[in-house]
Structure 1
Amino acid sequence: MAADLQDELIRELAAKHGVVLGRDDPILMLTTIQEHMLRKLNEGQSEALAEFQRTMELSMTTWSEDAREKAQRIVNGALEASKRVMAQNAEAAAAEFGKVLERKVGEMEVRLNAAREERSSTLVVVSIASGLALVVAVVGLFI
């Protein structure tokens, strides 16, 4: 492969500069040195890139965990707030229900008392009428 690169370089130098080099020209050592340096540079960049990738993956994992924890705290906070609001609403509804119930029970007591009084009045009238009828019957026996 290096021979192909050297042949290509010899042709390019001849075309551009009009200089024809032989395969054994010492200047061609520079191409070998450059190839070696490029290989080492590529290896170093590959290692640096792999290390960077590992660092980024670790950072992404850390960020993901942090984001998950923050989201969980937000959800838990919202849930707690929702529970508090629901409890307050339930207490308010229960208090209102208690007031309505008290009012209705009061109304029922008034109605029951009125019915008792009406029934009591009717009983008094019936008792008086019965008593009178008894007196009339007793008097009628003696007459």
Structure 2
Amino acid sequence: MATDKIEETIKEIAVKHGIAVGRDDPILILQTINERLMQDSAAAQQEILDHFKEELEAIAHRWSDDAKNKAERTLNAALTASRETMTQTMQEGAKSAAELIRREIKAASAQFAAPIHEAKRVALMNLVAAGMTIIAAGLVLWAASM
């Protein structure tokens, strides 16, 4: 392969410059050195590119992890806020329901308060009447025994 390149170089020099160069010409040494330097340079550049690629992949992976962590924190914060809002809404609903039940019970007890009061008054009058009946019966018995 190196021989083919040397032959091509000899032909190119002859075509372009009209000079015949032999295989042992010192100009070909420069060509060989130049090729070697270019190969070494290409290998070094490839190594640098590979290292750069690894760094970019590491940075991309780190960014991905950071984005994932931030998304998780945001999601957790949203869930916490949602949970707190639900708890607060449930507490407000429970307070509202308790107040509504309290008002309904108060209204129902107000409806029964007057009849209960009337029943107490009637019961008290019955007791007074029963007491008067007993006293009257006692007086009748006393008057009959005398």
TM bucket (normalised to shorter chain) is 0.7 to 0.9
TM-score normalised by length of structure 2 = 0.72
Could you tell me which runs of 5 or more consecutive residues in structure 1 were left unpaired when the two chains were aligned. Answer: 132-143
Is 1:49 matched up with 2:31?
no
Is 1:91 matched up with 2:72?
no
Q: Could you say which residue in structure 1 is the equivalent of 2:35?
A: 35
Q: Please, what is the CA RMSD of the aligned residues?
A: 2.3
Residues in 2 aligned to 1:37 and 1:88: alpha-carbon distance in whole angstroms: 75
Secondary structure at the residue paired with 1:102? helix
Q: Could you say which residue in structure 1 is the equivalent of 2:101?
A: 101
Q: Could you say which residue in structure 1 is the equivalent of 2:12?
A: 12
| Cα deviation, residue 114, structure 1 | 4.8
What percentage of residue pairs aligned between the two structures are identical? 35
Could you tell me which runs of 5 or more consecutive residues in structure 2 were left unpaired when the two chains were aligned. Answer: 131-146
Amino acid at match of 1:75: L
Q: How many residues align?
A: 124
Kindly indicate whether structure 1 or structure 2 has the higher relative contact order, using CA contacts under 8 Å at least 6 residues apart. 1
Residues in 2 aligned to 1:46 and 1:21: alpha-carbon distance in whole angstroms: 34
Q: Could you say which residue in structure 1 is the equivalent of 2:79?
A: 79
Residues in 2 aligned to 1:84 and 1:26: alpha-carbon distance in whole angstroms: 86
Residues in 1 aligned to 2:115 and 2:45: alpha-carbon distance in whole angstroms: 101
Residues in 1 aligned to 2:16 and 2:32: alpha-carbon distance in whole angstroms: 21
TM-score normalised by length of structure 1 = 0.73
Residues in 1 aligned to 2:104 and 2:54: alpha-carbon distance in whole angstroms: 73
Q: Could you say which residue in structure 2 is the equivalent of 1:141?
A: none
